[in-house]
Chains A and B, each alone.
Chain A
């Protein structure tokens, strides 16, 4: 590996005071240039590769979190069960929730956003490609760091919202909570950098003609989510930061014996935590709002209403956090205010449900797997939404707090809402990303197993909760299980069986992916007769996304290029097709396409963070070493131009299909 870059001719010409010479350059190593093999993934800054990596990593964490859920359900399958000890059970439900929220749904939404957002707005990458890569590695290393706690004395055991003073060393003596607090700070960096990056991308990198109100709805929802992240992440960072100082440096923030207010933690957590639930679900709303119009062959009903209700949810989401704390003695005024605010937020959500239903109404429906998941979301999310409204009534909420009823509610909104949306997205965009269709036949199995599984798992929890079964209780006894229809033993067993059916459904999906990879049919370019810009390129897209950047004239640009609507009858006439549009774009392909170049620094910078974190827990010297790596990486990063000098490339490999990096630079 050569030491330095060659002097940049540009710099020399424009009067830089010194040439960059190898000896004086901190600008360090030659950049990575491979376009194949593992290096092309590890050092990539391509938003599409990063999107895929986000997806794969998030799915692995999904399986981990799912196994934890199955263990929880096994323990609860029968009275006085002994599958898990109380301590193991506490760790299990804490890590299940943490994994699902922070390591599956959020990064999976990031996967979709990363991959699709630049394509949907007609850009060639995000605004800050290296920061994008850095975000991914922060998420991955943060997630791995969190899970190493299992092998280093036990994971966090305080529940995912980690109420004080349970998190004090006295009550949770293992290092689990340290891992939890530090790990989430690291993944928080991923979210924050990602948020800034994607907002700038949306604001600044839209294709010519694409005003915000012509932007695909998924991109809109992603934008709203990034604003929520931008402002919510710092709040949880403060909370986690205080917690780390409390546990590792002896600060007093949550020590009741020193007069602390444990409610401070609850406030900080839920100021973040409530926007967080919209962070989890809005991307799925966006996905569904893309899927439904395509398979109904109608434009999204009330696009503007969907946009503004999404923004309204994002806005109102900041004023409802204390409804998680109704039982904590806030006082009647606070409870009343937050109660009303919570009821108000049901309105924009209801607007969306209405809009989706109206999109279906009178459409030429095609019941593909993706469509079925989308419809499944409308139904299951509505159920979860309704039980959510019952929580906003504070007297009733006081009864439901910390019972299985709450567990039922948030699994309906998160599994029935967020996860169904993600699966709709998998089936819809799989051909876009991988060029092969997922099997519809297996897909139907996948869908029905998941629907049946989830309703069997989470449905009975309503009953159990109203009967008083508490959350986070490791054991229940036959003696107190109740009789008849309300017998807890029966419903607990049903729930456990449901969980395994659900798991089978997920397994079907994995089988589907595997079979598709082995022998799936190669997709036509536009398999669904789609509407938005991401379909107006190859599947999978070229590294530079578009041969020429399209000029946008309408919402659903791609559809409007293919079809012309008769003004009187409203009938659609096809005027051109995918192949012709592609040929036209290729014909006027851009001559000069500059893509950001791969870089070592994002991964080096990201790996420094868990080193510092391990150091904080185990050995301060290690933390110093980590900080040194961090500093080194920052300087390396700062001195490296975002696009490589030509001399950095190996001799062009003369790729036969436009794959070589060199060829990218001088395409056409």
Chain B
């Protein structure tokens, strides 16, 4: 429900109904796909009562989010290709197959994969307007994400001690850039999840709560599917 018109007059009673009856303005303002996307109506009524249909009947936020994710495909595509091109160029450091700790990475990949499950349960709870379960699952998701990032930090330090620095060679630069960039995405996701939990707890999400949770969920799953690719292409397939 990107398109709920919020009355600018203090009393909301006449306006909400009038706006529907007129129904003539398509949608003046959408919300932004940020954690605090807003709009002034609680989601308790599913927002349906003030609906102004968009041309497609779809939410602005969701369209925007999917386009953003489509565009991110090219971003990660570029980084992955750079890594693929350079992974064999590891002069002066151990080779990828000597460095990678497959059991550790398998576990952390599994953790990230399961965080997708908890995220989807959070979205599902949010759609049932079940705040308590929503925040619980969001917190679990953030914790799993943090575990993943922790494992990555541990992995990076290990590699550094074994002689692979960011500037050592092409393999090092492209490996740390790709996985680090992904790690930053996860970290941003964790911050958004925590902020979301805080905002739900304090009732600070004025907009359609379920949709905000869903948006962050989409982002989180995307980060997960990028890792699915990285895990196979970078770790499991030796150079």
| Across-interface contacts of A597 in B (CB, < 8 A) | 8
B167 touches A (CB below 8 Å): yes
Pairwise interchain contact B56-A204, C-beta atoms closer than 8 A: yes
The residues in A between 214 and 256 inclusive whose CB is less than 8 angstroms from any CB of B are: 230-235, 237-239, 241-242, 245-246, 249-253
| Across-interface contacts of B169 in A (CB, < 8 A) | 252, 258-259
Known: A16-B203, A130-B32. A591 touches B22 (CB 8 A): yes
| Across-interface contacts of B68 in A (CB, < 8 A) | 196
Pairwise interchain contact A665-B85, C-beta atoms closer than 8 A: no
Ordered by A's residue number, 20 sampled pairs between the chains whose C-beta atoms are within 8 Å are A10-B40, A14-B44, A195-B67, A200-B60, A204-B55, A206-B26, A231-B70, A235-B78, A238-B82, A253-B82, A590-B25, A592-B18, A594-B25, A638-B38, A639-B38, A642-B32, A645-B10, A646-B7, A649-B8, A666-B9
Interface of B is mostly: loop
Q: Mark B14-25, 1 if CB is under 8 A from A, else 0.
A: 010011001011
Of the residues A199, A268, A643, contact of B8 by C-beta under 8 Å: A643
Pairwise interchain contact A11-B42, C-beta atoms closer than 8 A: yes
Known: A8-B40, A204-B27, A253-B174. A641 touches B6 (CB 8 A): yes
B164 touches A (CB below 8 Å): no
Pairwise interchain contact B78-A128, C-beta atoms closer than 8 A: no
Pairwise interchain contact A641-B39, C-beta atoms closer than 8 A: yes
| Across-interface contacts of A261 in B (CB, < 8 A) | 85
Q: Kindly report which residue of chain A lies nearest to residue B5, judged by CB atoms.
A: A594
| Across-interface contacts of B166 in A (CB, < 8 A) | 249-251
Pairwise interchain contact B8-A634, C-beta atoms closer than 8 A: no
Q: Tell me which of A119-127, A298-306, A555-563 binds B.
A: A119-127
Pairwise interchain contact B40-A11, C-beta atoms closer than 8 A: yes
Of B34, B91, B169, B173, the most chain A CB neighbours within 10 A belong to: B173
Pairwise interchain contact A205-B55, C-beta atoms closer than 8 A: yes
Q: Kindly report which residue of chain B lies nearest to residue A19, judged by CB atoms.
A: B203
CA distance A87 to B36 in the complex (A): 49
A390 touches B (CB below 8 Å): no
Pairwise interchain contact A234-B167, C-beta atoms closer than 8 A: no
| Across-interface contacts of B10 in A (CB, < 8 A) | 9, 645-647
| Contacts between the two chains (Cβ within 8 Å), count | 245
Pairwise interchain contact B30-A10, C-beta atoms closer than 8 A: no
Pairwise interchain contact A641-B25, C-beta atoms closer than 8 A: no
Nearest-neighbour CB distance to chain A for B28, whole angstroms, equals 5
Q: How many residues of A contact B (CB 8 A)?
A: 86
Q: Kindly report which residue of chain B lies nearest to residue A25, judged by CB atoms.
A: B204
| Across-interface contacts of B18 in A (CB, < 8 A) | 591-592
A197 touches B (CB below 8 Å): yes
A445 touches B (CB below 8 Å): no
Q: Mark A9-45, 1 if CB is under 8 A from B, else 0.
A: 1110111111010001011000000000000000000
Of the residues B71, B173, B199, contact of A253 by C-beta under 8 Å: B173
Pairwise interchain contact A268-B78, C-beta atoms closer than 8 A: yes
The residues in B between 192 and 213 inclusive whose CB is less than 8 angstroms from any CB of A are: 195, 199, 201-204, 206-207
CA distance A207 to B23 in the complex (A): 12
Pairwise interchain contact B64-A127, C-beta atoms closer than 8 A: yes
Excluding A17-B131, A232-B74, 15 further A-B contacts by CB distance (< 8 Å) are: A14-B45, A131-B32, A192-B71, A208-B26, A238-B74, A238-B78, A258-B91, A592-B5, A594-B19, A639-B199, A641-B206, A643-B6, A643-B8, A646-B10, A665-B7
